[in-house]
Copies of this chain bind each other. A is one copy, B any other.
């Protein structure tokens, strides 16, 4: 089946407003993640409906690890470009690029690159996954690379499946720089504008809430201007429906000299159905850095660890940190 080019790519842009940013003027990582997901959802839904059969919506199931390469500021225009880069039988990959443009100076910067995985859910029966029309690849090599990414994420998604863990509330008066001191949570009643036309919460809305909580945790820990540096791969285990209450909780797991890792959990529960249990919908790791007035990274106060559980999480965080550092170095060498 032939899919026209126009259907598999998309550009959107928007001026960044005061409410998109913190008080220093840095646009929230969550605002960027939400725009990225809107672009992915449009391009994915459009593509999956270029065939006969039930009408469907592209539902976000995974975002690959993404780095915030350059801060975006109020008044700049964020340009988001999305393109479908791989299709399997039941899922598709969208690669997205965010450029920030200062329309006064003309300066453009690459702010973010991300890859998102979607599956098409029938509008008639949301549990029915539709087939994905294949795209055409520029080369056999490109297709092969896509297949590898597909295999890798599939394996990882199965591994991470819904690790449910109770988040224990912090002790009443925790000492500064402990995990309990900065742990935070927020509650949000899902409204109409948070949802797609089949009444499920947009993945981008969830990510924006997660980034908001992670930002509060980071600011509490180091009392400075903080920004999102990267987000580890996020798997969306279960959908969240209109009328739910979501509880988003963040806690510090690890600090390096200049970064903080925050684990964020999203739990959903229906207000109306008392019998139904609260369930874990998403969880992810956000990495934040602390900035001085010239936007240079500041040292981060070390996290005070208490007990076996916190120690284990810290070591796991350290392992992720070292792994990602090694990866960055390897990429740098390859480019030279």
Tell me the A residues contacting B by CB distance below 8 Å.
7, 10-15, 17-19, 22-24, 26, 28-31, 33-39, 41-42, 45-46, 49-51, 55-57, 59-68, 71, 74-75, 77, 101, 103-106, 116, 121, 123, 126, 153, 156-157, 160-161, 164, 168, 170-171, 173, 176, 184-189, 191-193, 196-198, 200, 202-205, 207-213, 215-216, 219-220, 223-225, 227-237, 239, 242-243, 245, 247, 265, 267, 271-274, 277-278, 280, 283, 286, 291, 295, 324
Given A12-B12, A211-B28, A230-B65, CB of A55 within 8 Å of CB of B105: yes
User: Do the beta carbons of B224 and A245 come within 8 Å of each other?
Assistant: no
User: Do the beta carbons of B18 and A192 come within 8 Å of each other?
Assistant: yes
Min CB distance, A3 to chain B, in Å?
10
Min CB distance, A131 to chain B, in Å?
14
A contact face: mostly helix, strand, loop, or mixed: mixed
User: Do the beta carbons of B203 and A10 come within 8 Å of each other?
Assistant: no
> Which residues from chain B contact A231 at a C-beta distance below 8 Å?
29, 33, 63, 65-66
Chain B minimum-CB-distance residue to A177? B274
Other-chain contact of A19, B17, B55, B62 (Cβ < 8 Å): B17
This chain's copy number in the assembly = 3
Chain B minimum-CB-distance residue to A212? B30
Please, how many angstroms separate the alpha-carbon atoms of A68 and B295 in the complex? Answer: 14
User: Do the beta carbons of A11 and B196 come within 8 Å of each other?
Assistant: no
Min CB distance, A208 to chain B, in Å?
4
User: Do the beta carbons of A168 and B34 come within 8 Å of each other?
Assistant: no
- In the A-B complex, the 9 residue pairs with the smallest Cβ-Cβ separation, listed nearest first, are A29-B228, A37-B204, A30-B211, A60-B203, A30-B208, A34-B204, A75-B197, A223-B274, A18-B192
> Which residues from chain B contact A66 at a C-beta distance below 8 Å?
230-231
